[in-house]
């Protein structure tokens, strides 16, 4: 079992993440009991534009892809997360994720640097590692936020396409799984 406080670079291998994430899919990554797609009716955008840019950058660091696997952008993980944030059945999720993205940008700019999305890959990974272990410079619960974002990312990456991510089951196919959407 891996250490939950390990830095991003020391996280489990992609294979271990995929196997663990499979449990999310198998155990019910659903928003309803019906097989039909459910569309929440958002009354406002899920995130502010700057928050969405930070979200997409963070998701790319969490799921960077490889030769055989799509990255978060290709797998439309942000679409899944944005849909989840707009779902009225998940109250408070949007505010928590939005606040964490604001804190991520603030932390990136602490030393006169750019917003999170403009940082180098190495700087982004360092900052996400800080959030994963708990950033002492903020009262915001960064470790809880990181775990929540990682969970949403894995759900979008490995979940059924009807929920907004993993279009056409592309991740399943890349993993050699015969499941069809």
pLDDT for the residue 49: 96
Inter-axis angle of helices 142-158 and 93-109, nearest 10: 120
Closest to 151 (Cα-Cα) out of 15, 20, 41? 20
Kindly indicate the confidence band of residue 162, based on its pLDDT and cuts at 50, 70 and 90: very high
pLDDT at 121 over 90: yes
Are the C-beta atoms of 146 and 138 separated by less than 8 Å?
Answer: no
Provide mean pLDDT across the span 79-102: 94
Closest to 165 (Cα-Cα) out of 99, 33, 72? 72
Provide mean pLDDT across the span 155-174: 94
What are the φ/ψ torsions at residue 28 (nearest 5 degrees)? 115, 65
- In this predicted model, what pLDDT tens digit does every residue of 104-117 receive, in sequence order? 999 999 877 899 99
Are the C-beta atoms of 146 and 128 separated by less than 8 Å?
Answer: yes
Kindly indicate the confidence band of residue 10, based on its pLDDT and cuts at 50, 70 and 90: very low
User: Alpha helix locations (H) across 35-159?
Assistant: 49-62, 77-86, 93-109, 121-133, 142-158
Could you identify the residue written with the tokens 């964490």? 100
Provide mean pLDDT across the span 159-173: 93
pLDDT for the residue 132: 96
pLDDT at 18 over 70: no
> Measured between alpha carbons, how far is 117 from 174 in angstroms, rounded to an integer?
27
pLDDT for the residue 14: 44
pLDDT for the residue 45: 63
- In this predicted model, what pLDDT tens digit does every residue of 20-77 receive, in sequence order? 444 344 333 444 434 444 554 544 568 999 999 999 999 999 999 999 999 999 999 9
Cα torsion 63, 130, 152, 42 to 10°: value is -120
Write the Ramachandran bin of 92: left for phi over 0, alpha for psi from -120 to 50, otherwise beta: left
CA distances to 31, 41, 57, 146 from 101, in Å = 24, 23, 10, 10
pLDDT for the residue 179: 72
């Amino acid at each position: 079992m891996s250490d939950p406080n390990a830095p991003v670079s020391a996280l489990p291998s992609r294979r271990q993440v995929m196997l663990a994430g499979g449990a999310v899919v198998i155990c019910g990554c659903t928003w309803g009991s019906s097989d039909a797609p459910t569309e929440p009716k958002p009354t406002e955008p899920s995130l502010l534009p700057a928050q969405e840019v930070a979200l997409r950058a963070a998701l790319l660091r969490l799921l960077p892809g490889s030769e055989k696997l799509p990255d978060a952008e290709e797998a439309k993980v942000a679409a899944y997360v944005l849909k989840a944030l707009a779902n009225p059945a998940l109250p408070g999720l949007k505010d928590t994720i939005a606040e964490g993205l604001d804190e991520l940008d603030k932390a990136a700019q602490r030393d006169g640097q750019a917003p999170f999305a403009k940082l180098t890959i190495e700087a982004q990974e360092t900052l996400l590692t800080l959030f994963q272990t708990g950033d002492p410079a903020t009262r915001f619960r960064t470790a809880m936020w990181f775990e929540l974002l990682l969970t949403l990312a894995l759900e979008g990456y490995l979940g059924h396409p009807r929920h907004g991510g993993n279009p056409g089951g592309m991740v399943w196919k890349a993993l050699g799984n015969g499941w069809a959407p």
